[in-house]
Structure 1
Amino acid sequence: MANTDVPARAELAERAEKLVPLLRQRAEWTDENRRLPEETIEALTEAGLLKLRVPRRYGGFEADTGTVVDVLSELARGDGSTSWTAAVWAISSWVVGLFPDEVQDEVFATPNVRVCGILSPTAVAAPADGGVVVNGQWTFNTAAQQSHWNTNAAVRPTPDGGFEPVMLVIPVSDLRIVDDWHTTGMRGSGSVTTVAENVFVPAERILPMGPVLNQQYASTLNANSPHYRSPFLPMACATVGATALGLAKAANEVFFDRLAGRKITYTSYENQSEAPLTHLQVAEAAVRIDEAGFHAYRAADLIDTKATAGEPWTLAERGRARLDLGATVQRAKEAVDILKTASGGSSVYHTVPIQRIDRDIHVLSLHAVMHPNTNLELYGRILCGLEPNTHYI
């Protein structure tokens, strides 16, 4: 175990940018095969982009949130599924850093370890000698087939007859994979179902979720790192919002790639770029992309500023992180929809990237934590003086 020199923010963004042509070249294969190509994983690894949220003592970068948004939005310019998968690996690596230090030693002992993660407690952890025995399943488990460890969640019985949610760290090899990821979008993320059947999890790899959501973490060695002064949900929200932002940028680029020489069928416009309608469409899309970027980076800046200063979070700030995620997704989706509409009938072919980008952003917008309407309502409740109707804030 050793510390490592951390590349500058601009360098990490540049490394991601250099992968964009490669990711675009492989995007159709990724979509059709419902997982990342091994060559893509190798490229991410060689670029050091799987180390963003790994503690420095294991050779990681402990990158700030602004850097993470830079990197993931660049990857999404190449392929949405690759960006989303990298986001999940980054979040889950960070989550491992909340566990006792001996657990981190175990997980990060694997070079270039890939950790996937699930937050929904859809399994039961029955108390057993030295830990718990877990039974249940988790759907939407991104890249489980291409990961080494899984941070997931279950409910554990309490002495009063109730249940408490807990977070777990489990080797993926202990889980059964159900290859059911047949979807309209984000197909390359391989977000399959995983099943636990009498899986024993030792006590040190269990954390009560309540304290975690309230920034009470178990690691001693990470306790003084600004990297671990952020609440879990705002950090995760800022991370995944970057994929939506990058998809909107990708839609804009691929639209202009096809614009030259295109006419508008059944009109007198021999060149689409000369039509006032096109001018309105690209301008409206540009505004929405800028607005998506504003919300994505506002959330990142708040996380990084408060982490550096060691300042506590207010309920309103936590709610605004959810709002910023919802607004990022909403504005990105609107931009993609405008550009898709302007792309014409020939854009429906699988070889035209705009159709895949449109499917990807649509699926992202339906994610329970990313849904614009859910996040707007949550923030509106807080503005009106009501308690949030969720623990995930």
Structure 2
Amino acid sequence: MSATVEAPVESTDEESVAPDDPRILALGIEPPRSVAAVFRNFDRIKDLLRAEAAEGDRLARVTPLAGRAMRSSGFFQLTYPKARGGLETSFQDHLELVMQVSRIDAGTGWTVAILNASGHHSSRLSDEAYAELYPSVDTPVTNSWFPPAKVTRVEGGYEIKEGRWDWGSGGYQADMFSGGALVFEPDGSPSIDEEGRQRLVSLWFPRDKTEQAHNWDPMGLRASGSSSYYITEPLFIPERYTMSRYAPDRPDDPPMYKHLSNTYYPILGVAAGIAQHMIDLTVDAVRAKLRGGKLGEETHTALSDAMGECDMMVMGLRHWAQEGQRLIETPDNLMSPAQVESMLTMGIRAQQATGRVLDLLLDVHGSAFIQPGSEMGRAIRDYYTMRAHSQFKHSNMFLYTGRVAAKLADPDAVISPLDEPWVVYTQ
């Protein structure tokens, strides 16, 4: 995806919908003090999200009303550590909420996935820095690593003269921004870490020193509001307000914060949500056309195959969320690089499965299926835009060499689910 085309996009003000707005109070949202409460709130606001989806697509961001409903429901508080008042949500639950929201609108689900990365990142901050940056867990932060800015190491932190980042998903709901930067020494030479890599850090910026470019105008995933953003003046960022892109795994941390490499796994739920959304819309269209008539064999076969593809995708995504959770909850255990890779490459498999679902459903509807202004047209646009993201691009498979290499080196290595010893359930 690209956010670099400068196209004027209508601006809205998230603060125009306050927490005590009568439309929000009428939803009966409960305080999000548990993950179960967040899911109960989803049931309360899902009709509103559905009603606002077309307008969010037009505006190229979640609407202020939908954004406030999600924020009040706790959708952006899932991943903060319990020790800091957060919910410390599991992979399974975070993935599930992203899938369910994406079943309504993929751009909205994308926002839920991305804004929750901040909770994982914040776990690497000191208690002092966290207290200074986060007045509460209700502090959505947008992060993008690319294109990285340039910063200079100075005493106590970093100096940054300018910086502009693309793909700032969820920025219209954010209270704060952070951005990636390559580190240079005062003499202009690259700053090299212990592994021989140039240091790449993420820096948290003051909200009043950042602006959005309002340039997110893609074909799909429009409600993600992934506008570019930039700092408005040179800044000094204290060391404590930064995090390394190459932060080491920490086996002694709480399970959800041992690894940062799988922070974005729940975004894969967007693919499953798109697939199920298209199936839902096709079922509605077929029911309307039947009007008590008999379902043709071709239509039956196409729908059955599409549902099966979607089922296998959802079960695969849920499995790796559960398996990843089991591995990190094992005391003193870290996931192997091949296991992390197995989780992350599910994104490529998910987009392929969604493409097969789309192909099957096209056989049902033909050209009536792809009107650009329709809800189905929006879902199709979302699918093709999703495919351009690095986590879903098949052309990026060459980056994931660890799983194959591990299996070639040791055929008995425990990599896939069938490598695991089977636990007999029958008593």
TM-score over 0.5 for the pair: yes
Aligned ranges 1:35-114 → 2 under 5 Å: 35-110=61-136, 112-114=138-140
Is 1:362 the equivalent of 2:366?
no
Q: Is the 8 A contact 1:337 1:358 kept in 2?
A: no
- 1:55-80 CA-partner distances (Å, limit 9, x unpaired): 22443211111011111111111111
Aligned partner of 1:177 in structure 2 is: 212
Q: Distance in 2 between matches of 1:47 and 1:127?
A: 40
Is 1:152 the equivalent of 2:179?
yes
Aligned partner of 2:240 in structure 1 is: 204
- 1:261-305 CA-partner distances (Å, limit 9, x unpaired): 327xxxxxx989622221121112112111211331122112211
Please report how far the alpha carbon of residue 191 of structure 1 lies from its aligned counterpart in structure 2 after TM superposition. 0.6
The correspondence for 1:289, drawn from 301, 310, 318, is: 310
SS of the residue aligned with 2:163?
A: strand
Is 1:278 the equivalent of 2:314?
no
SS of the residue aligned with 1:234?
A: coil
Aligned ranges 1:8-19 → 2 under 5 Å: 9=36, 12-19=38-45
Please report how far the alpha carbon of residue 6 of structure 1 lies from its aligned counterpart in structure 2 after TM superposition. 5.2
The percent identity for this pair of structures is 18
One-letter amino acid matched to 2:326: T
Q: Distance in 1 between matches of 2:32 and 2:367?
A: 50
Using structure 2 for the length normalisation, give the TM-score: 0.78
Q: Distance in 1 between matches of 2:208 and 2:276?
A: 37
Is 1:24 the equivalent of 2:50?
yes
**Structure 2: any 5+ residue segments left out of the alignment?**
1-30, 191-197, 410-427
Q: Is the 8 A contact 2:78 2:86 kept in 1?
A: yes
Please report how far the alpha carbon of residue 170 of structure 1 lies from its aligned counterpart in structure 2 after TM superposition. 1.6
- 1:315-353 CA-partner distances (Å, limit 9, x unpaired): 211221122222122212321343245333333345531
Distance 1:173 1:338, change over 3 A: farther
Distance 1:119 1:167, change over 3 A: same
Q: Distance in 2 between matches of 1:16 and 1:351?
A: 26
**Structure 1: any 5+ residue segments left out of the alignment?**
218-222, 264-269, 388-393
Q: Distance in 1 between matches of 2:201 and 2:377?
A: 39
Is 1:215 the equivalent of 2:261?
no
Distance 1:380 1:307, change over 3 A: closer
Please report how far the alpha carbon of residue 111 of structure 1 lies from its aligned counterpart in structure 2 after TM superposition. 6.3
Aligned partner of 1:119 in structure 2 is: 145
Q: Is the 8 A contact 1:177 1:192 kept in 2?
A: yes
Please report how far the alpha carbon of residue 128 of structure 1 lies from its aligned counterpart in structure 2 after TM superposition. 3.2
Aligned ranges 1:183-332 → 2 under 5 Å: 183-196=218-231, 197-210=233-246, 212=247, 214-216=248-250, 224-229=253-258, 231-236=259-264, 238-262=265-289, 274-310=295-331, 311-332=333-354
One-letter amino acid matched to 1:244: A
CA RMSD across the alignment: 2.7
Please report how far the alpha carbon of residue 47 of structure 1 lies from its aligned counterpart in structure 2 after TM superposition. 2.0
- 1:130-172 CA-partner distances (Å, limit 9, x unpaired): 3212222211111223311223211001589333211211234
Aligned partner of 2:419 in structure 1 is: none
Distance 1:358 1:164, change over 3 A: same
Q: Is the 8 A contact 1:12 1:67 kept in 2?
A: no
Q: Choose 102-111 or 361-370, whichever is displaced more.
A: 102-111
Q: Is the 8 A contact 2:78 2:88 kept in 1?
A: yes
Q: Distance in 1 between matches of 2:334 and 2:137?
A: 34
Please report how far the alpha carbon of residue 355 of structure 1 lies from its aligned counterpart in structure 2 after TM superposition. 1.0
* Number of aligned positions between the proteins: 367
Distance 1:341 1:180, change over 3 A: farther
One-letter amino acid matched to 2:262: P
Aligned partner of 1:142 in structure 2 is: 169
SS of the residue aligned with 1:181?
A: coil
Distance 1:206 1:372, change over 3 A: same
Q: Distance in 1 between matches of 2:173 and 2:369?
A: 32
One-letter amino acid matched to 1:308: E
SS of the residue aligned with 1:166?
A: strand
One-letter amino acid matched to 1:334: R
Q: Is the 8 A contact 2:141 2:177 kept in 1?
A: yes
